[in-house]
Structure 1
Amino acid sequence: MKKFTLLCCLLSVFAFGQNSSKTCETLSKINTLIQSEHFHPKPVDDSLSVYVFDTFINDLYQSSTLFSKAEYQKLRKHRLLLDNQILQHDCSFLIEFVSTYRTALERKKTAIEKLQKANLKYDGLDTIHFSNKKNQYDLSIIGLQKVWEKKLKFDILEDISKKSTDIDSLKSHFSTLEKIAKSDVTDHNLCKLASILNSPKGLDYDLQNAFYNVFCNYFDPHTNYFTTDAKANFMASLSSSELSLGLNGELNEKNEIQITDLIPGGPAAKSKQLEKGDIITKVSNKKGEEHIISCTPFEQISQMMFSDSNLEIELTVQKKSGKIIVLTLQKQLVATTSHSVYSLIAENETKVGYINIPTFYSDFDSNDNTGCAHDVEVELKKLNADGIKGLVIDLQNNGGGSMEEAVKLTGLFINAGPVTLLVNNKKSVTVLKDDLDKIAYSGPIVILINGNSASASEFFTAAMQDYNRAIVVGSTSVGKASMQTILPLDKSKDEFVKLTIEKFYRITGQSHQIKGIVPDVILPMLFEDISLRESSYKTALVNDSIPVRANYKPFPKALFATPLELSRFRLEDNIRFKDISNLNKEIDAVFTNPKVTLALTFDSVFKHCNTITALRKKVQKAAVIETNCRITNNSADALTLKEDEANLEINAVKISDLKYSPYLQEAITIINDFNISNRE
């Protein structure tokens, strides 16, 4: 058996060795494309080598408690050499990375299997420390094994602690609960390790692709390597329709997919076997590949469920009753309601229209100019027919999308004129303009943004702010002011790079890159300080300005003076927003600077978990305080919904969620103040 295992390893190394030249060839193509087309190409030098090595190692699964000090030092010899090796077309270094990673994963798997059979003690002699301290890679193999044991104990105690807030009840059943929790925790750990080791396309393939992507990220965080499937997934996220199973879901605490809604007319709804709240535990395709959801990297799950190459998917589902069912769904073209524009009527002293734009989607395969801008125009006609006195455009959590759609959308609210300035790697400046001298809505506008509003949503908001066409309310946006395109590496079109080719500037010549869009009325959002912004990335493009200013005619800013002053005065005593700010301080204390040392006893872990649980309950409570706003459908949609029972539940959720928004309430009040202060 040992000889057979050794032979398999040798064959694997030999096969990967043959692929080494292919790896270098791909990296060479990526680099050639980047050096030619990227907005700000950088040389392949020691700086790249250090970034790629550090990022690649740190991104590997639990790398800081996986590699021993000796293993890390062995790999670290490449830290200043990767640039030379890549340029010399010698990518054999990846063989060592893969081999060392596989050895470390197997070692941890063996250790967990051993701990699975051991009687663990929770007497407090062991402690566990949580910190944001950077990866040290300073442990011996024995030290690593001790860390794994401590983490396993903590996870078991945490699992038990989450089952109830009654500590006495949990203690009285501790022995039974410990056996169940231990089985669940060790099974999850082993499943996670197995999913990496037994990846459908192989560990070497996964690490190769990860390396390509890290190489691309050195030039900026939005330059990425794409396989055909990854490209298809990305394009689908920007489209108003896609081949889909017709369901939406979110990860629960066990990292399983819980169905949040079924798209009417989609495969999932048509099956009549699924409902909201069901849990998807496993997925598989016709190629014989299968993934257990809770222990498989989400990228692999996403690729299987959403890639056009997998048209038929088998789902293993746990019903709300606990019953397990297995069903096969055939993908079909489905309108993606989860990121489609919709509108509602919101009232609080005045009647305003509310338009939610989840993404700047576009139907790339259509020639009829459909996309989010077209859909917004349709909604505006409905709202105008209802006699609205103002408009709220909600871009909270809008991660961007099509820049072309953002230009079209701006054109709905301004007369013909410049919208943004684009600069390429040759420093050539292009002025993007709206050429249509036609406004779809001329009344007062408030735009809602937050720390998750990015890219195209920032592009649109910046233009509206510079034209004084809207008052911007919320928290500072992400700060991404760059434009990407997807280019093939060669004529085969099997591999691609999503490449940053241009940077966009406001029509004032200023840039919101890194800085983000700063609202006119700043309101706190929950988890604000731990949100991932452009400034979080080491390789983000710098903020600068250009000595060019577009010729444009803004609306009078004086119209905003009174409503802005009244808003600032009102918010000084706003209890709800003060509570959100105070909650953020508590969240920061837990997540930003944990630095907690716990004794591995049930009492200690239970107390720690209940602190987190109490904070989570505070957050949940803060999110469900109902406002005074009355939310209804516009008249046109109200008529349509009478004959569309399938969408009634989704519509009810949208209305219910909006009733809890303090941001919408403040936006409506600002519009009311605007109308009162600017009456003729």
Structure 2
Amino acid sequence: MKKQMLLVAVIAALSVQAGAAVPEKTADTPLKPQPGQTQAALWASRVLTKLHYKPAPLDDAMSEKIFDRYFKSLDAEKMFFTQADIDQYAIVRTRLDDAITGENLSVPFGIFNQYQQRFNERIAYARELLKGKFEFTSDETYQYDREKADWAKSDAEIKDLWRKRVKNEWLRLKLAGKDDKSIRETLDKRYEGYLAPSRKLTNEDVFQIFMNAYAMSIEPHTNYLGPRAAESFDIAMRLSLEGIGCVLQSRDDYTVVREVVTGSPAGLSGKIKVGDKIVGVAKDEKTPITEVMGMRLDDVVALIRGPKDSTVKLEIIPADAGPDAKHTFVTLVRQKISMEEQSAKKAVYEVKDGNTKRRVGVISLPTFYMDFEARRKGDKDFKSATRDVKRLLGELKKDKVDNVLIDLRNNGGGSLTEAVELTGLFIDKGPVVMQRNSDNKVEVESDTDPGMAWDGPLGVLINRGSASASEIFAAAIQDYGRGVIIGEPSFGKGTVQTLFGLDRFAQNDKVHYGELKFTIAQFFRINGGTTQLRGVTPDIKLPTMGDSDTFGESSYDNALPWTQIKPAIYIPAGDIKEIVPLLDKKHVARVDKDKDFQYLAEDIALVKKQRKENSISLNEVVRRKERDQQEARSKLREARLLSPTPGADDPILVPDPKDALNKAISAKPASGKAAPTPKVAGVKGALRSDDGLQGSERSLAAELEAEKQAKAAKDVLLNEAVHILADEVGLLKTDTRMASRVLPYAAADSK
């Protein structure tokens, strides 16, 4: 009780201090915790301290970790708080455990309100700087990634950081050809735009940020999901929702239609177009129109979504009309929408091998999805990654492909069941992965369905973004000797999570506590090792674009260590040890002559150099020279990457009227840092010159055209992977002894 009274006293004192410094015009209503949130925090702590794979007590030591992670979550780049702000809260550094167990979240909410104050102050200062002028002749530099930097020691130091940030953004626009008046207007609108989303944050947002600071202090893949976040997670897993079939985006306080899903209610109506602005929504026939101008995007989406066969009415400003144009009204009946963009897709490529053409089928799988609810209800058509891939393999057989490549780049995982069942499409039957729980009990997950959907040669393409279920699949294929793993070392996530609904502890149906996603086990390869921390090492390595210090399991300070257990009993499905060196030799010889690959290597080297330097000149002469060099380099790449005519050695995409493979696989999502990223051949989004603008500052038409170009660009890494598999076909056809080792099941079938 004494501790709790001290907490209340401290936060009250700090709130008074914070309030005294807030300018009247920028003061916002402080957010406060709700009773349901304090109860949810308490129940979450009880679950995590008892059921987690590596349970950690909620004590003073954990409180210190939560304290540091919470401040980092709010201000990762250390551009808002100063060291003095951190010191101000030092007295509660070991008291956040008491805030949770004592059901008093005033402290974390007080910290957030202080953050909001600092946010308003820094943005106001940035806008004030725009009234002056900048000189670009000195040799100043700007550090664009401050995640590992120290907190600014004083207000003067943080103001200087903001001066350099604004100066850099001004210079980028100047180099893009903008005049001072235009630059000033663009940046002032940009900084003003930062304030609106900040002011729309709710107590649910703050609670989720704080609870994630706690959950992730236990282990990186443990999270708290508020009610709305839990719904979004469920939608992502089942790849379907009930709505009208529009992809929406916020632009200048409008909710804008970015994409209309083919075959959806919106698409079939013909009344909604890309670029339309939704300004009002009636959730059902009995509800009046709610104005949604300036509303948070997720709130607008919540109004539009609803039960299947129910009605929604939209008030729209047509895309080609001005803001004062006549509004139109569209009534639609909601239906189940399948998110096909994230579904498995196939394509067929042909590679010349002398006078012969090798056909390689490529299946792109963005995630291991499954509609758990539909499967539980016995729906025979439930959405499943394995079922989709099995169907595509059947189509590829009809296309008479010689080899199959499963593209798992940037596939962050998903359903463990799907990983096991997908592996079963390529092995006869046997263990796929082992799980060890907190009691050290080991369970083996096996494919029990005999036979293979594809018994021919196989390759798997991975990168640093391939994680979890992707690593289970790739590791099993590698351990069975079933296929060639190509790419770069994977993420290194070797843990298993479960969802735990906290609503079971609620006192009534109107209170929602959200969900916990927490680690319950560690998975192990059938060879006894784990992918944890180290990931899957490819048999044939392609250039590494990721940075292990900032992305991947090894970048976390509290990741579980690598370990191993006793191997499972399994019979290899093939032996690729003999063929891999031969494939690698051909690969090296080919890329040494491949101009696209040389460009890629040069660009990656430049990215790594700039990442290491972590600074950019604010001298106009220096920057203009760098810009000119980058533009010259980019023109050489663009001419090749966007050429409609493939090179003599490029794989030829065979047209398919039913499906088209999305060749542009997303790179790691941008962090929002103003880093001077050079263009990298074959990477989505790499073809746009630096215009100094942010996404919402460009026209929607320009954004969509840039994405279209990126998708049409040559995918250098995919092309090389296809070449490697074509090489494999050639080697197997000329050496029957090797073929019988690599593909013993296929050889047996042929007899």
For normalisation by structure 1, the TM-score amounts to 0.81
Spell out the pairing of 1:587-602 with structure 2 (5 A cutoff): 587-599=607-619, 602=620
Q: CA 1:22 to 1:386, structure 2 compared with 1: closer, same or farther past 3 Å?
A: closer
**Aligned equivalent of 2:358, options 347, 350, 361:** 350
Aligned counterpart, 2:93: 79
Q: Deviations over 1:420-472 (max 9, x none)?
A: 10111111111111111121111111111111111111111111111111111
Question: CA shift at 1:594, angstroms?
Answer: 2.0
Classify the secondary structure of the residue corresponding to 1:512. coil
Classify the secondary structure of the residue corresponding to 1:111. helix
1:476 aligns with 2:489: yes
Aligned counterpart, 2:441: 428
1:340 aligns with 2:355: no
Aligned residues: 636
Paired amino acid for 1:629: P
Aligned counterpart, 1:409: 422
8 Å CA contact 2:168–2:618 kept in 1: the answer is: no
Q: For 1:424 and 1:485, locate their aligned partners in 2 and report how far apart those are by CA, in whole Å.
A: 12
Question: CA shift at 1:222, angstroms?
Answer: 1.5
Aligned counterpart, 1:523: 542
Q: For 2:145 and 2:598, locate their aligned partners in 1 and report how far apart those are by CA, in whole Å.
A: 27
* RMSD of Structure 2 on Structure 1 (CA): 4.1
Q: For 1:391 and 1:506, locate their aligned partners in 2 and report how far apart those are by CA, in whole Å.
A: 23
Q: For 2:573 and 2:399, locate their aligned partners in 1 and report how far apart those are by CA, in whole Å.
A: 28
Paired amino acid for 1:75: Y
Spell out the pairing of 1:216-231 with structure 2 (5 A cutoff): 216-231=215-230
8 Å CA contact 1:423–1:503 kept in 2: the answer is: yes
Farther off after superposition, 389-398 or 667-676: 667-676
1:443 aligns with 2:456: yes
Aligned counterpart, 1:583: 603
Paired amino acid for 2:614: P
Q: Deviations over 1:581-609 (max 9, x none)?
A: 2211101122342233424xx54554455
Question: CA shift at 1:344, angstroms?
Answer: 2.1
Q: Deviations over 1:229-255 (max 9, x none)?
A: 111111111223223553558999x99
Q: Deviations over 1:539-573 (max 9, x none)?
A: 22221111343333442345635643543553572
Q: For 1:570 and 1:476, locate their aligned partners in 2 and report how far apart those are by CA, in whole Å.
A: 22
Q: For 2:98 and 2:109, locate their aligned partners in 1 and report how far apart those are by CA, in whole Å.
A: 17
Spell out the pairing of 1:644-663 with structure 2 (5 A cutoff): 661-663=718-720
Aligned counterpart, 1:670: 727
Classify the secondary structure of the residue corresponding to 1:64. coil
Q: For 2:734 and 2:303, locate their aligned partners in 1 and report how far apart those are by CA, in whole Å.
A: 53
Q: CA 1:324 to 1:353, structure 2 compared with 1: closer, same or farther past 3 Å?
A: farther
Q: For 2:449 and 2:500, locate their aligned partners in 1 and report how far apart those are by CA, in whole Å.
A: 31
1:234 aligns with 2:233: yes
8 Å CA contact 1:446–1:473 kept in 2: the answer is: yes
Spell out the pairing of 1:453-602 with structure 2 (5 A cutoff): 453-491=466-504, 492=506, 494-526=513-545, 532-558=551-577, 560-561=579-580, 563-567=582-586, 569-571=588-590, 573-575=592-594, 576-599=596-619, 602=620
Farther off after superposition, 279-288 or 30-39: 279-288
Q: For 2:317 and 2:637, locate their aligned partners in 1 and report how far apart those are by CA, in whole Å.
A: 30
Aligned counterpart, 1:38: 52
8 Å CA contact 1:342–1:357 kept in 2: the answer is: yes
Question: CA shift at 1:515, angstroms?
Answer: 0.8
Q: Deviations over 1:118-166 (max 9, x none)?
A: 3334364694531545342234334434443443233223223224xxx
Farther off after superposition, 537-546 or 419-428: 537-546
Classify the secondary structure of the residue corresponding to 1:94. helix
Q: For 1:126 and 1:315, locate their aligned partners in 2 and report how far apart those are by CA, in whole Å.
A: 53
Q: For 1:574 and 1:391, locate their aligned partners in 2 and report how far apart those are by CA, in whole Å.
A: 25
Q: For 2:339 and 2:602, locate their aligned partners in 1 and report how far apart those are by CA, in whole Å.
A: 37
1:148 aligns with 2:170: no
Q: For 1:64 and 1:432, locate their aligned partners in 2 and report how far apart those are by CA, in whole Å.
A: 44
Aligned counterpart, 2:385: 372
Q: For 2:485 and 2:196, locate their aligned partners in 1 and report how far apart those are by CA, in whole Å.
A: 48
Question: CA shift at 1:74, angstroms?
Answer: 0.2
Question: CA shift at 1:102, angstroms?
Answer: 2.8
Question: CA shift at 1:80, angstroms?
Answer: 3.6
Question: CA shift at 1:672, angstroms?
Answer: 2.2
Q: CA 1:69 to 1:502, structure 2 compared with 1: closer, same or farther past 3 Å?
A: closer
| Structure 1 unaligned spans of 5+ | 164-169, 171-176, 639-648
Question: CA shift at 1:198, angstroms?
Answer: 3.8
Spell out the pairing of 1:304-343 with structure 2 (5 A cutoff): 305=301, 332-343=335-346
8 Å CA contact 1:231–1:496 kept in 2: the answer is: yes
Spell out the pairing of 1:51-450 with structure 2 (5 A cutoff): 51-61=65-75, 64-115=78-129, 118-122=131-135, 124=137, 127-130=140-143, 132=145, 134-163=148-177, 177-199=179-201, 201=202, 204-247=203-246, 262-270=260-268, 272=270, 301=297, 305=301, 332-348=335-351, 349-366=357-374, 367=378, 368=380, 370-450=383-463
Farther off after superposition, 154-163 or 538-547: 154-163
Paired amino acid for 1:104: R
Quick one: percent identity of the two aligned structures? 23
Q: For 1:251 and 1:663, locate their aligned partners in 2 and report how far apart those are by CA, in whole Å.
A: 38
Question: CA shift at 1:519, angstroms?
Answer: 0.8
8 Å CA contact 1:132–1:592 kept in 2: the answer is: no
Classify the secondary structure of the residue corresponding to 1:77. helix
Q: For 2:478 and 2:358, locate their aligned partners in 1 and report how far apart those are by CA, in whole Å.
A: 23
Q: CA 1:162 to 1:530, structure 2 compared with 1: closer, same or farther past 3 Å?
A: farther
Q: For 1:197 and 1:592, locate their aligned partners in 2 and report how far apart those are by CA, in whole Å.
A: 35
Q: For 2:549 and 2:271, locate their aligned partners in 1 and report how far apart those are by CA, in whole Å.
A: 39
Q: For 1:428 and 1:223, locate their aligned partners in 2 and report how far apart those are by CA, in whole Å.
A: 21
Question: CA shift at 1:671, angstroms?
Answer: 2.8
Q: For 2:52 and 2:108, locate their aligned partners in 1 and report how far apart those are by CA, in whole Å.
A: 26
Paired amino acid for 1:239: R
| Structure 2 unaligned spans of 5+ | 1-18, 284-289, 352-356, 507-511, 661-704, 738-751
Q: For 2:320 and 2:119, locate their aligned partners in 1 and report how far apart those are by CA, in whole Å.
A: 35
8 Å CA contact 2:426–2:454 kept in 1: the answer is: yes
For normalisation by structure 2, the TM-score amounts to 0.74
Aligned counterpart, 1:646: none
Paired amino acid for 1:266: S
8 Å CA contact 2:49–2:55 kept in 1: the answer is: yes
Paired amino acid for 1:386: D
Question: CA shift at 1:63, angstroms?
Answer: 6.2
Q: For 2:331 and 2:227, locate their aligned partners in 1 and report how far apart those are by CA, in whole Å.
A: 22
Q: For 2:571 and 2:304, locate their aligned partners in 1 and report how far apart those are by CA, in whole Å.
A: 44
Q: For 1:617 and 1:307, locate their aligned partners in 2 and report how far apart those are by CA, in whole Å.
A: 45
Classify the secondary structure of the residue corresponding to 1:535. helix
Q: For 1:233 and 1:242, locate their aligned partners in 2 and report how far apart those are by CA, in whole Å.
A: 9
Q: CA 1:464 to 1:438, structure 2 compared with 1: closer, same or farther past 3 Å?
A: same
Paired amino acid for 2:342: H
Q: CA 1:423 to 1:24, structure 2 compared with 1: closer, same or farther past 3 Å?
A: same
Question: CA shift at 1:613, angstroms?
Answer: 5.5
